[in-house]
Structure 1
């Protein structure tokens, strides 16, 4: 089911919803220049949909959500967008953040604390951004894509995004999915792609206050977000469990979808009321 909620400043946030209506919700937050379609392997897994209500959001400026002219540098905008999705989800939710989605979760924690959360899963995620920020350390693939991937000149941006898409996974992923990733990136306006990097965010104190179960998942071969970012967040969050996906790149939920979904199902079940 496709639906929407209204986020902060009246921005329309698009959602994809699957699964059992009255079950524990799992809310998925995608990464930079992507959309809710990235979670296709989770939204289509009967082992998840029969037990949980899956809600995947399109971040502002991405997918089918509205594209406001400003606000991408404001933690409260991101936090309140996610809060609107959590209100829609109803019960306290497991929130899963991939890549830049981890920073959006950190924004939520900064503004709202752990209210409405049953647990957190960080997947190949950053929790900080800015020069020298340990929780936002990028890898060679991300560094190679910038600044070309932010250009409004298609002759500059398209080749950079093609290579960035190709190099995200360490293992092969279905060709249709890889092309969908590229399409999602190209659909995000260049100004939005660039605006997401115009931030300087430190999150150590925010992470140290987390009082809900946290699972940190990261591919050992991730060259988009450096594995040290996972070690940083896991080290700052009390009681966090760090789970490495050996030889996986930046897409462990696609590269090894079966094992990822199993780990998510176990974690979500353990946090159920």
Structure 2
């Protein structure tokens, strides 16, 4: 059974959370990317093995999906950290957090502010861990570079083609129409000022990544044109003992493009954390 609930994040913002799975299972908290929503994880919430063995929680970032849209705070690491902390509180026990794209930066913000308290493990998926000019953990690919700044525009005639093209270039093979249109709808539902505000940051995370002391898996598609795979390599090189999983021939959304394999990898990682085993390198 699936349900939606809310937690109170930084500054009193209501953060929407999608919940499913086994109440007593080890929790997995999913953090989506820029201009998307908790719906990004449909293939994980639909997987019988994940639902039967784990408690699944996926938040809508502030300004996205069903969460509140505050006027500010999008450039403050402490705000993102406290939003995620509220969801981890709902999980009720240390959770494996899975961050896709910008979601990996939100996890990095959490570690920056709260350390690894409440984390059983971390999975970064096509993620950025830094943002701003010259930060290697935030290198983007050709698809994102070509989409900006038009994807941030208030004018629908400017933003729509850029967002449509970006979503089309997230995968190596064309996405099913329903999936692509759901992703486009999620992007358009995020107000243009919020889409822009998420890029108005300059964040270095070298020391934060080096401080991570829980098992971490860095995963990235080798054909990712949205976030450069070198950003994943950078994070893996900074995080002590990080394991890696490169999805050959896959783009920015391995949890959609290679969902069965991704879900198997995730299930194994979470089960190993529950058993106290180190991440496999």
Length-normalised TM-score, structure 1? 0.99
- Rounded to whole Å, the distance in 2 between the matches of 1:175 and 1:34 is 16
What is aligned with 1:220?
222
- Rounded to whole Å, the distance in 2 between the matches of 1:123 and 1:269 is 18
Q: 1:230 aligns with which of 229, 232, 242?
A: 232
State the 4+ residue runs in structure 1 displaced beyond 6 angstroms. Answer: none
What is aligned with 2:278?
none
- Rounded to whole Å, the distance in 1 between the matches of 2:127 and 2:9 is 23
Matched, 1:143 2:145: yes
Question: Structure 1 residue 23: deviation in Å?
Answer: 1.2
- When the two chains are superposed, the root-mean-square deviation of aligned CA atoms in Å is 0.6
- Rounded to whole Å, the distance in 2 between the matches of 1:68 and 1:190 is 13
CA displacement 1:69-95 (0-9 Å, x = unmatched): 000000000000000000001010000
- Rounded to whole Å, the distance in 1 between the matches of 2:249 and 2:177 is 19
> Is the Cα–Cα contact under 8 Å of residues 7 and 87 in structure 2 kept in the other structure?
yes
Question: Structure 1 residue 174: deviation in Å?
Answer: 1.8
Q: Secondary structure of 2:17's match?
A: strand
Q: Secondary structure of 2:196's match?
A: helix
> Is the Cα–Cα contact under 8 Å of residues 82 and 108 in structure 1 kept in the other structure?
yes
The number of residue pairs the alignment matches comes to 273
- Rounded to whole Å, the distance in 2 between the matches of 1:165 and 1:237 is 29
Matched, 1:190 2:185: no
Q: How does 1:14-93 map to 2 (within 5 A)?
A: 14-93=16-95
Q: Any stretches of 5+ residues in structure 2 without a counterpart?
A: 276-281
CA displacement 1:214-246 (0-9 Å, x = unmatched): 001100000000000000000000010110000
Length-normalised TM-score, structure 2? 0.96
